Amino acid sequence: MMGLILALCLLLALAISIVSHQAPSYAARNLSNKMQVPVTVGDISFSVDKISVYDFTVYNVPDSALEKACSIKELSAHNNIFTYLDDVVTVELINIKGVYLGLEFDTAKEATGNWTTIMNNVENSTTKVNEEDKQVIEIKKLVIRDIEVD
Protein backbone atom coordinates (compact mmCIF):
# COMPACT_ATOMS: atom_id res chain seq x y z
CA MET A 1 0.00 0.00 0.00
CA MET A 2 2.80 2.38 0.92
CA GLY A 3 4.51 1.64 -2.41
CA LEU A 4 1.36 2.59 -4.31
CA ILE A 5 1.08 5.92 -2.45
CA LEU A 6 4.75 6.66 -3.13
CA ALA A 7 4.35 5.79 -6.82
CA LEU A 8 1.28 8.07 -7.10
CA CYS A 9 3.17 10.93 -5.40
CA LEU A 10 6.10 10.51 -7.77
CA LEU A 11 3.77 10.39 -10.76
CA LEU A 12 1.99 13.54 -9.58
CA ALA A 13 5.33 15.33 -9.05
CA LEU A 14 6.45 14.32 -12.54
CA ALA A 15 3.19 15.55 -14.08
CA ILE A 16 3.44 18.91 -12.27
CA SER A 17 7.06 19.28 -13.39
CA ILE A 18 6.18 18.57 -17.03
CA VAL A 19 3.22 20.96 -17.00
CA SER A 20 5.19 23.76 -15.34
CA HIS A 21 8.03 23.42 -17.86
CA GLN A 22 5.62 23.45 -20.82
CA ALA A 23 3.52 26.39 -19.57
CA PRO A 24 5.73 29.21 -20.97
CA SER A 25 5.93 27.75 -24.48
CA TYR A 26 2.21 26.88 -24.48
CA ALA A 27 1.25 30.40 -23.36
CA ALA A 28 3.59 32.04 -25.89
CA ARG A 29 2.33 29.86 -28.75
CA ASN A 30 -1.32 30.47 -27.83
CA LEU A 31 -0.88 34.24 -27.57
CA SER A 32 1.19 34.37 -30.75
CA ASN A 33 -1.54 32.53 -32.66
CA LYS A 34 -4.17 34.96 -31.42
CA MET A 35 -2.11 38.14 -31.89
CA GLN A 36 -0.48 37.05 -35.16
CA VAL A 37 2.90 38.34 -33.96
CA PRO A 38 5.78 36.54 -32.22
CA VAL A 39 5.41 36.24 -28.44
CA THR A 40 7.94 34.91 -25.94
CA VAL A 41 7.50 33.95 -22.28
CA GLY A 42 10.63 33.30 -20.27
CA ASP A 43 9.06 31.46 -17.35
CA ILE A 44 5.79 30.95 -15.47
CA SER A 45 5.64 29.90 -11.83
CA PHE A 46 2.60 28.68 -9.94
CA SER A 47 1.87 28.48 -6.24
CA VAL A 48 -1.38 28.21 -4.31
CA ASP A 49 -1.56 31.98 -3.80
CA LYS A 50 0.31 33.45 -6.78
CA ILE A 51 0.95 33.07 -10.50
CA SER A 52 4.05 34.83 -11.88
CA VAL A 53 5.13 35.41 -15.47
CA TYR A 54 8.72 36.44 -16.26
CA ASP A 55 10.29 37.99 -19.37
CA PHE A 56 7.09 38.35 -21.42
CA THR A 57 7.53 39.97 -24.86
CA VAL A 58 5.06 40.77 -27.64
CA TYR A 59 6.92 41.62 -30.84
CA ASN A 60 5.54 44.15 -33.27
CA VAL A 61 3.49 43.72 -36.41
CA PRO A 62 5.40 43.49 -39.74
CA ASP A 63 6.77 46.77 -41.17
CA SER A 64 6.85 48.46 -37.76
CA ALA A 65 9.60 50.89 -36.83
CA LEU A 66 9.89 49.40 -33.33
CA GLU A 67 10.92 45.80 -32.70
CA LYS A 68 8.63 45.24 -29.71
CA ALA A 69 5.04 46.20 -28.99
CA CYS A 70 5.36 45.32 -25.29
CA SER A 71 7.64 43.63 -22.80
CA ILE A 72 7.28 42.91 -19.10
CA LYS A 73 10.08 41.71 -16.82
CA GLU A 74 7.74 40.34 -14.14
CA LEU A 75 3.98 40.10 -13.68
CA SER A 76 2.46 38.45 -10.63
CA ALA A 77 -1.19 37.89 -9.79
CA HIS A 78 -1.78 37.36 -6.07
CA ASN A 79 -4.85 35.31 -5.24
CA ASN A 80 -5.83 31.77 -4.41
CA ILE A 81 -5.32 29.71 -7.57
CA PHE A 82 -8.59 27.85 -6.99
CA THR A 83 -10.60 31.07 -7.43
CA TYR A 84 -9.91 30.79 -11.19
CA LEU A 85 -12.57 28.07 -11.21
CA ASP A 86 -15.25 30.52 -9.96
CA ASP A 87 -17.58 32.58 -12.16
CA VAL A 88 -16.26 35.74 -10.50
CA VAL A 89 -12.51 35.74 -9.96
CA THR A 90 -11.21 38.27 -7.44
CA VAL A 91 -7.52 39.05 -7.82
CA GLU A 92 -6.20 40.74 -4.70
CA LEU A 93 -3.12 42.27 -6.36
CA ILE A 94 -1.49 42.38 -9.78
CA ASN A 95 2.09 43.60 -9.58
CA ILE A 96 3.85 44.46 -12.87
CA LYS A 97 7.54 45.42 -12.99
CA GLY A 98 9.74 46.53 -15.87
CA VAL A 99 7.19 47.49 -18.53
CA TYR A 100 8.09 48.59 -22.05
CA LEU A 101 5.29 49.72 -24.34
CA GLY A 102 5.99 50.41 -28.04
CA LEU A 103 3.25 52.59 -29.49
CA GLU A 104 3.12 53.39 -33.20
CA PHE A 105 0.39 55.40 -34.90
CA ASP A 106 -0.61 55.27 -38.55
CA THR A 107 -0.77 59.08 -38.82
CA ALA A 108 -0.31 62.01 -36.47
CA LYS A 109 -4.08 62.62 -36.42
CA GLU A 110 -5.32 59.04 -35.91
CA ALA A 111 -5.36 56.81 -32.86
CA THR A 112 -4.93 53.63 -34.94
CA GLY A 113 -1.60 51.85 -35.11
CA ASN A 114 0.29 48.72 -34.14
CA TRP A 115 -1.89 47.93 -31.12
CA THR A 116 -5.05 48.39 -33.19
CA THR A 117 -3.77 45.67 -35.54
CA ILE A 118 -2.76 43.36 -32.68
CA MET A 119 -6.08 43.73 -30.84
CA ASN A 120 -8.07 43.27 -34.07
CA ASN A 121 -6.12 40.04 -34.64
CA VAL A 122 -7.06 38.87 -31.13
CA GLU A 123 -10.73 39.75 -31.64
CA ASN A 124 -10.86 37.96 -35.00
CA SER A 125 -9.18 34.81 -33.64
CA THR A 126 -11.35 34.51 -30.54
CA THR A 127 -14.52 32.48 -30.64
CA LYS A 128 -17.58 34.22 -29.28
CA VAL A 129 -18.66 33.18 -25.79
CA ASN A 130 -22.24 33.10 -24.54
CA GLU A 131 -22.96 35.79 -21.94
CA GLU A 132 -23.81 33.19 -19.28
CA ASP A 133 -20.47 31.42 -19.87
CA LYS A 134 -18.32 34.53 -19.41
CA GLN A 135 -16.03 34.75 -16.41
CA VAL A 136 -15.76 38.07 -14.54
CA ILE A 137 -12.37 39.10 -13.21
CA GLU A 138 -12.21 41.74 -10.47
CA ILE A 139 -8.82 43.30 -9.71
CA LYS A 140 -8.62 44.95 -6.29
CA LYS A 141 -5.17 46.53 -6.68
CA LEU A 142 -2.93 47.04 -9.74
CA VAL A 143 0.65 48.22 -9.26
CA ILE A 144 2.84 49.06 -12.29
CA ARG A 145 6.50 50.00 -11.74
CA ASP A 146 9.27 51.13 -14.08
CA ILE A 147 7.38 52.02 -17.28
CA GLU A 148 9.07 53.03 -20.55
CA VAL A 149 7.01 54.12 -23.55
CA ASP A 150 8.27 54.70 -27.11
Q: Which residues contact 49 (CB under 8 A, 6 or more apart)?
A: 78, 79, 80, 81
pLDDT tens figures, 119-132: 999 888 877 767 77
If you ran DSSP here, which 8-state letter would residue 62 be given? T
Return d(Cα 115, Cα 124) in angstroms, integer. 14
Residue 106: name the closest of 117, 96, 98, 97 by CA: 117
Q: Do the Cβ atoms of 5 and 11 come closer than 8 Å?
A: no
pTM: 0.80
pLDDT tens figures, 5-52: 656 656 655 555 555 568 899 999 999 999 999 999 999 998 888 999
